[in-house]
Amino acid sequence: MAGPRMPDTSGPNLVVLAQRGEADALGALYDLHYRAIFRYFRARVGNWHLAEDLTSDVFRRMLAGLPQYRPMGLPFRAWLFRIAHNVLVDHYRKESGRMSVELQETEQQGQSAADPASVVEHKLTMEQAYRALFELEPSQRDVLALRFLSGLSLREVALALNRTEASVKALQQRGLAALRLTLVPE
Amino acid sequence: MSQLDDLLEERLARLEAGEPLEACLAGLPEAQVNSLRKAALLRAVSDADPVADRIAAERRELVRLAKENKPMASQSPSSAPTGKARPRWVLPVALAGGAFGLCSCMMILSLLAGLAGLNLLSPERSVAQNPTPVHEGTPASPKATGESNQGLSTPVPTAVALEAPDPQTAALNEPHGVVEVQASDGTWTKVQAGTMVKAGQRVHTGALSRVILTFYDGSQARLGPNSEVSIDALDAQKSGPRVVALTQWVGESDHDVATSSDAGSRYEVNTPSGTGKAKGTVFHVFVSTTLLVRFDVDEGAVEVTSLNVTVVVVAGQSTIIVAGQAPQPPVFHISGEGEVERIGTNWRIAGQNFRTHADTVIIGDPQVGDWVAFEGRALLNGTRVADKIVLLHRRFENTFAFVGTVDAIGESEWTIAGRVVRVDEVTRIEPGIEVGDLVEVKGGIAQDGTLWAASIQPVVTNGFRFTGVVQNITSEAWAVSSISVTVNVSTTIEPGIVVGDVVQVSGQILEDGVWLAQTIRRVPAGGGPFEMVGVATSLDPWIVNGIELATADWTEIDEGIEVGDKVKVEGRILADGTWLAEKIKLWDEDEPVRFAFVGRVNSINPWVVGGIPLAVDDNTEIKGEIAVGDRVKVEGVVLPDGTWLAQAIKRLDRNRGCFSFSTVIRGVDANQIVLFDGQTVTLGEGVTVEGELNTTAVIIIFGCVREDGTFIIVTIIVIGQIELPPTPVPQPTTAPPPSTGSFDITENNQTLTLICNGNSVTIRGNDNHITLLGNCGSVTIRGNSNWVSIQSATSVTNTGNNNTIQGP
């Protein structure tokens, strides 16, 4: 099964090179993390174009913040996703909590009601996943999006969201339980 | 629950490692089976990319910016209001810029008096503080240019300032707080960034507010809080005659005037009491509600005229116009910050005495022990006058703050984290606190170590409390100093609050970033304290919760804070809306019962500081050689039994304050310079000199006052060259002119220095440079184009033309 988890090749060397101003290293970091961050935003804001904008904002902030980044603190990916989380928080602050959901209406409810195992075989579309995630509490949505759509480890999620691993585990468990109600008929 | 979580996590790890789903499901409880299936579903969703073109374009832009070694546009720091390299004190924004500028003095008479009080000159290096300013010219603004009046906070610093589209238009940039423009029909409209104004319009700022007028030629006028100007004439040509004429009715403004080579150019600021004209100059104008006017000049010169008397105010000088009077002779300016040692009519700040007057602006109700910024003037008789005193932070010494659980609540004392804290009628206690609640207590430490609580309030881990100006009110959200706070039925709102009022808002920051207000109440205008917990999204400049914070060299900042860390920030919102941080601390939710305070060491074995017994252990870090009587900062944790365990005790070598003044060099000899008042300064290795020190150079001297009162020079900066040769200090052996009762000067084109000795002086000649020392009787100027400096006179009459008088 091909999961979305990506190899964490954004090791210190690439980051250090980017900090030195190596444009190629910066581009590599961009390539490495763009999709995961986009998926996170896609799951959180629903709006495709907004997710793109917020993803761009993350990399702009990354560029601005790179000189201050120290590898002995947060792992780079957790640092990057913490920026992403902050971008999201700022977005909501600016929007005063308004949310723009732009999920496609081509969703087939019948597929949602299928047996989980068979659904796995069919593979969910992103739209299905996002629709399901949108039914969750924001904190649960954060955790599930980061864990399973963006491919972060438990620890990375905890660092990105500034939570304890235990808290992330609990949110993950509750989120998965709630998600089941949406996708799987009880 | 946690075991199940662990089990699920273990299976997830196997799934991620590539094990088949069915194998991972084996043996799982039913509830976990479905959870794992859902996780597998999410991991396996078919991917969809954003538009490839956009990704590629974004990538190219990112790489391009990296190559240019600059952040993208939206990350650009706030545009500085001026491009001047002039260093400033740490809080220029606190004092609205220009007036806060550094002192220089080209007035010979001023020099004689101005340095009279500074007999403490020493070339030693400052030990602790660096008075070299930070945040030069960069206003700390929590919002971005272009924001609407709804004032939503954004974490991104301001974008590039808009330019005026034509010479007859000015652009309003970086509006902060309440900024309004009056149209020709008299109606006032709240403005947004980039609003254009023309001649005939007025611009007004409310409390905690500011705005920048940018003219077509690049000149700028920056309005401070509670200010109003009208645009009388505007034709700001970049080449040819430039005309900018403003009338400032009240408040403060800073002007950065672009240089114009056209002789017909004028940039003038009229006031109800006089007019200032400038070319290529940086200056500040203050108009009080009693129509007292002050012009302060940072660069170049400004001609200030009232009642047909003109004085030329040059860099480092100030002049005052009392309503209905001629401008007072320019004197030199002194500014800085320091500890308040005495208050009243006569203040003592940073070891310097200042007299206050009816129009002295005092913000924040500073008390003895507090730290303030000040600006003022050194009069010819040596007296120093404070024109503005602004509270920067309350005293650190013998104050405490800690977080703990309430163990008991009594009439006159509470027990918090095992520690008895006294309360009285002035203790501000948030209603509803019960035993078991986690609270933060702040207060003072009595000599016997008793803790007197000034405030007890619940701890909120994602809370905020700040003072701001109300910009907009709806049933669902308020805009307060650019922060949008949500209100709901649980929000307690003081009745009668309207737009423009200054309020304190407290509440919580929700998971989705919404600032939910719990209370909104009116407070006196002029700024106030704030505190909040949030994530630092930038360290340079500091941005927490989207708020850009100004810091000072005394701001306490925990080491090791990184972007993304959760921090607690405390500070004050200054009069122009700037958020000045006093403390930026890492927020540790797992160890909230901490304390920190500053006090003097009473004893070392056992440790008692500020009357409080302290426990120490092998892990306690003692920084510096500490002796009884030293001032130290103690940080530690409150143990369950109420014992205060010190984790770090650090000696503070804090200065009493730092300030700057200007003077002129009279002579240079090897590594010594002689100032105009005759004092000699030895240039030790620790003194940083910028520029070439030579005779007649105008210099700014920066320094700090040690605890023992010694003034330590840190930096000397050359800011210009005096046009006139320095006038020798009169020596007792110098034979004065015969005391005939009056001097009658009929010569032309002469440079004269006279000691009046009570005589009257009549100047009939033209084009003279005349310095009158001592006490003169009446001084009458009948000739033309004379430059006359008068130390003291019973009266001054000017019936000639084009005379420049710098007189008593």
Kindly list the domain boundaries of chain A, sorted by start residue. Answer: 12-96+112-183
ipTM score = 0.73
Residues B440 and B498 grouped into a single domain: no
Closest CA to B514 of A92, A26, A66: A92
**Is B305 domain-assigned?**
yes
Closest CA to B788 of B381, B277, B309, B103: B309
Residues B177 and B314 grouped into a single domain: yes
- Tokens 């109300």 correspond to B470
Give the domain range for residue B248: 169-330
- Tokens 């109003």 correspond to B228
Q: How far from B765 is each of B547, B768, B774, CA to CA, in Å? A: 61, 7, 21
Residues 626-685 of B with CB under 8 A from A: none
Could you tell me if B207 and B187 are in contact, meaning their C-beta atoms sit under 8 angstroms apart? no
Best A96, A98, A174 residue to mutate vs chain B (most B CBs within 10 Å): A96
**Is B439 domain-assigned?**
yes
Q: Cβ–Cβ of A55/B48 closer than 8 Å?
A: no
A59/A80 Cα distance (integer angstroms): 8
Query: What b/e string do you get for B567-577 counting C-beta neighbours within 10 Å, with b at 16 or more?
Result: bbbbbbbbbbb
**Is B65 domain-assigned?**
yes
Q: How far is B460 from chain A (nearest CA, A)?
A: 16
Show Cβ contacts of residue B771 under 8 Å, excluding neighbours closer than 6 positions.
Answer: B108, B109, B727, B752, B753, B754, B788, B789
Residues B61 and B6 grouped into a single domain: no
Other C-beta atoms closer than 10 Å to the C-beta of B524 total 11
**pLDDT the model gives residue B662:** 73
Residues B301 and B201 grouped into a single domain: yes
Q: Cβ–Cβ of B71/A64 closer than 8 Å?
A: yes
- Tokens 């702009």 correspond to A60
Q: How far from A149 is each of A4, A126, A141, B13, CA to CA, in Å? A: 6, 9, 11, 15
**pLDDT the model gives residue B414:** 93
Could you tell me if B164 and B213 are in contact, meaning their C-beta atoms sit under 8 angstroms apart? no
pLDDT digits (tens, 9 = 90+) for B548-600: 888 877 788 887 788 888 888 888 888 777 888 888 888 765 554 667 788 88
Residue B45 contacts A where some CB pair is shorter than 8 Å: yes
Weakly modelled stretches of chain A, pLDDT under 70:
1-13, 68-74, 93-127, 180-186
pLDDT digits (tens, 9 = 90+) for A82-99: 888 878 877 776 665 344
Residues B189 and B302 grouped into a single domain: yes
Structure tokens at B457: 């309030």
**pLDDT the model gives residue B227:** 92
Residue B782, SS3?
coil
Other C-beta atoms closer than 10 Å to the C-beta of B596 total 18
Burial class, A9, CB count within 10 angstroms (exposed 0-12 / middle 13-18 / buried 19+): exposed
B11/B4 Cα distance (integer angstroms): 11
Q: Residue A136 forms beta bridges with which residues? A: none
Contact list in B for residue A162 (CB cut-off 8 A) is 535, 564, 566
**Is B452 domain-assigned?**
yes
Q: Cβ–Cβ of A23/B4 closer than 8 Å?
A: no
Contact list in B for residue A69 (CB cut-off 8 A) is 562-563
Q: Cβ–Cβ of B58/A59 closer than 8 Å?
A: yes
Domain count, chain B: 6
Question: The domain spanning residue B469 has which CATH number?
Answer: 2.40.50.320
Pairing of strands B680-682, B688-690: unpaired
**Is B660 domain-assigned?**
no
Q: Cβ–Cβ of A96/B51 closer than 8 Å?
A: no
B189/B204 Cα distance (integer angstroms): 10
**pLDDT the model gives residue A180:** 60
Residues B310 and B417 grouped into a single domain: no
Domain boundary among B651, B669, B698: B651
B155/B696 Cα distance (integer angstroms): 48
Residues B38 and B71 grouped into a single domain: no
Could you tell me if B294 and B318 are in contact, meaning their C-beta atoms sit under 8 angstroms apart? yes
Domain boundary among B651, B666, B685: B651
Residues 523-562 of B with CB under 8 A from A: 535, 537-540, 546, 560, 562
Q: Which pairs count as long-range contacts for B71-76, CB under 8 Å and 24+ apart, including other chains?
A: B71/A60, B71/A63, B71/A64, B72/A60, B72/A63, B72/A64, B73/B159, B73/B160, B74/A57, B74/A60, B74/B156, B74/B159, B75/A60, B75/A61, B75/A63, B75/A64, B75/B156, B75/B157, B76/B157, B76/B158, B76/B159, B76/B160
Could you tell me if B82 and B137 are in contact, meaning their C-beta atoms sit under 8 angstroms apart? yes
pTM over 0.90: no
Question: Half-sphere exposure of residue B129, counting CA atoms within 13 Å on the CB side?
Answer: 30
**pLDDT the model gives residue B802:** 85
Q: How far from B793 is each of B324, B425, B571, B790, B796, CA to CA, in Å? A: 19, 55, 48, 7, 7
> What amino acid occupies position B752?
L
Residues B450 and B509 grouped into a single domain: no
Domain boundary among B284, B303, B330: B330
**Is B689 domain-assigned?**
no
**Is B704 domain-assigned?**
no
Residues 121-180 of A with CB under 8 A from B: 123-126, 128-129, 138-139, 144, 147-149, 151, 154, 162, 166, 169-170, 172-173, 176-177, 179-180
- Tokens 């056209």 correspond to B262
**pLDDT the model gives residue B286:** 92
Residues B568 and B620 grouped into a single domain: no
Residues 48-107 of A with CB under 8 A from B: 48, 51-52, 55-57, 59-61, 63-65, 68-70, 73-74, 79, 82-83, 86, 88-94, 96-97
- Nearest-10 Cα torsion for B19, B25, B27, B31: 150
B222/B229 Cα distance (integer angstroms): 11
**φ and ψ at residue B528, rounded to 5 degrees:** 180, 180
- Using the Cα atoms of residue A28, residue A30, residue A31 and residue A33 in order, give the sign of their dihedral: positive
Closest CA to B556 of B529, B593, B521, B581: B581
Q: Cβ–Cβ of A124/B152 closer than 8 Å?
A: no
Weakly modelled stretches of chain B, pLDDT under 70:
1-5, 45-53, 67-161, 279-280, 380-382, 460-462, 511, 525-527, 588-594, 653-654, 676-678, 685, 720-742, 750-758, 773-774, 807-808
**φ and ψ at residue B74, rounded to 5 degrees:** -70, -10
**pLDDT the model gives residue A3:** 31
Please tell me the total number of residues recorded for chain B in this structure: 808
Measured between its terminal Cα atoms, the distance across chain B in Å is 84
pLDDT digits (tens, 9 = 90+) for B574-585: 877 788 888 888
Nearest CB to B41 within list A63, A119, A172: A119
Q: In chain A, whose CA is at the least distance from the CA of B9?
A: A169
Residues B636 and B746 grouped into a single domain: no
Residues B36 and B55 grouped into a single domain: no
- A12-96+112-183: what fold? Butyryl-CoA Dehydrogenase, subunit A; domain 3 (1.20.140)
* Interface size between A and B, measured as CB pairs under 8 A: 218
**pLDDT the model gives residue A68:** 65
Q: How far is B457 from chain A (nearest CA, A)?
A: 25
Q: Residue B284 forms beta bridges with which residues? A: B254, B296
